[in-house]
Amino acid sequence: MKLSFPHPLVILLIFIFLAGVASYLIPAGKFDRILDEETGRELVVPGSFKAVEQAKPGLADLFLAIPEGVIAGAEIMVLILFIGGAFFIVEKTGALQAGIEALIYRFRNSKALLFYLLGLVFALGGAAISMQEEIIPMVPVFVILASKLRYDLRSIIAITLGSSLVGAAFSPINPFVALLAQKVAEVEPFSGAAFRGAFWLIILLGWITYHRLTGVKPSSDEAAQEFIPSPISGRFGLILLISFGGIGVMAYGITELDWGYNEMSALFFVIGISCGLIAGMGVNGTARTYVQGFGEMIFAGIIVGLARSIYLILEKGAVIDPIIQGLFAPLESLPDALGVAGMFISQALIHIPVPSTSGQAVLTMPLTAPLMDLMQISRQVAVLAYQFPAALMDMVTPTNGGMMAIIAASGISFKDWISYIWKSWLFLLTFALGVTLLGILWFG
């Protein structure tokens, strides 16, 4: 019998099982924590690691962690359902396809510009808010775009999701990555912005160029690529304005009004219903289409919840802190470059059991910043050694629910995604490591 690569659901269930096994094999331990009153976050106290009683989850605990993780990710799941339902309605009206066709026709003689604009928009979203889950409902747009442009859908995902993650990794302004890490490490906020910004632009342009060139599908029928789209009607124009304008409103709400998942869900519920009614679907037709949209996105939402389950098991087993202690403790005795490289690799590995970039910053920066002091290296380098690998690992680690949900909604298997992305991702990680080592000289 031919063996096939595991389904995303199976992959996450395997990781849940492995998290349970880790709780038996890794001695439990904890760092003391103090509350930062300004941010409300708990910070690790360096040098406070101690062994604690081993908590060994049974088989029943592993199964219970599955719904617990889904419940813990309920707000994100609801957001996925509501935004997904809204864009499903927009797709069914025909406005989405008409808009994509008009966009492609507009850039028919300069498709390269279209890809650079697309990548830049998503990179700015990543730089500002680490945009991932917000991309999930845009998958239908990517599918149509890939089909019309005759591009590999994986390359479109790389130019959108990938650019967002590159943007987050090299961003000097991301409050969930760079700024949080700088605060915890007691580094001046926004310091080193020019250094990060220069490499942000360089690697982004290289990333988009690579996937623009490698993603094209050969076609012998060139005439089939030429078409004249139908004019966008006033009704279609209004639907597109409301739906894509909603993304702008969401971005404003997140950055200026401190919106959470509930506010975003409410916004896209209104957008979905409005677009259905404008399209003439009627109240019942709009409701039926919205429910169909929910059905299309349920699996993507469950994937996000299952990724949470892995972290919950490791947290209950008290093995996350020992993993961090075991990875960082040996670095103190290494030469500068090797120590920083080891820290970079350790942060990449830590991101597998701790898929939250902000959670990883709070866990690791109180330990790595003093380590930099002992090595007589700027704490800014400790921030780089966390920021780059933590954000870039989101592109490949199956514990990242956002990425797994996007490829699942796209109908791309995890195996196919990794087989496409691994070379460019490995170059990206190597480039980031080189920039981190350069930081030793730059920041002193």
CB atoms within 10 A of CB 41: 17
Give the model confidence (pLDDT) of 377-392 as tens digits. 888 999 999 999 999 9
Cα-based angle 129, 134, 139 (whole degrees, multiple of 5): 140
Specify the pLDDT at position 372: 84
Would you place residue 4 in the very low, low, confident or very high pLDDT band (cuts 50, 70, 90)? low
Specify the pLDDT at position 2: 55
Query: Among all chains, which residue has been given the structure tokens 């038996």?
Result: 24
Range with lowest mean pLDDT among 261-270, 362-371, 410-419: 362-371
Q: Where are the domains of the chain?
A: 8-34+71-217+228-443
Would you place residue 227 in the very low, low, confident or very high pLDDT band (cuts 50, 70, 90)? low
Specify the pLDDT at position 223: 41
Whether the predicted pLDDT of 226 surpasses 70: no
Would you place residue 252 in the very low, low, confident or very high pLDDT band (cuts 50, 70, 90)? confident
Retrieve residue 61's tokens: 């605990």
Specify the pLDDT at position 215: 86
pLDDT (mean) for 303-328: 83
Specify the pLDDT at position 359: 79
41: which strand partners? 36
Percent of the chain with pLDDT over 90: 28
Specify the pLDDT at position 199: 94
Give the model confidence (pLDDT) of 183-198 as tens digits. 888 888 888 888 998 9
Specify the pLDDT at position 41: 66
pLDDT (mean) for 293-307: 78
CB atoms within 10 A of CB 241: 12
DSSP string, 138-168: GHHHHHHHHHHHTB-HHHHHIIIIIHHHHHH
150: which strand partners? none
Residue 227: φ, ψ to 5°? -155, 155
Average pLDDT, the chain: 84
CB atoms within 10 A of CB 303: 29
Specify the pLDDT at position 224: 43
Whether the predicted pLDDT of 1 surpasses 60: no
Range with lowest mean pLDDT among 28-37, 55-64, 217-226: 217-226
Q: CA 19 to CA 306: how far, in whole Å?
A: 12
Retrieve residue 81's tokens: 């359902």
pLDDT (mean) for 204-224: 78
Would you place residue 8 in the very low, low, confident or very high pLDDT band (cuts 50, 70, 90)? confident
Give the model confidence (pLDDT) of 108-154 as tens digits. 778 888 899 889 888 987 887 677 877 877 788 888 888 888 899 99
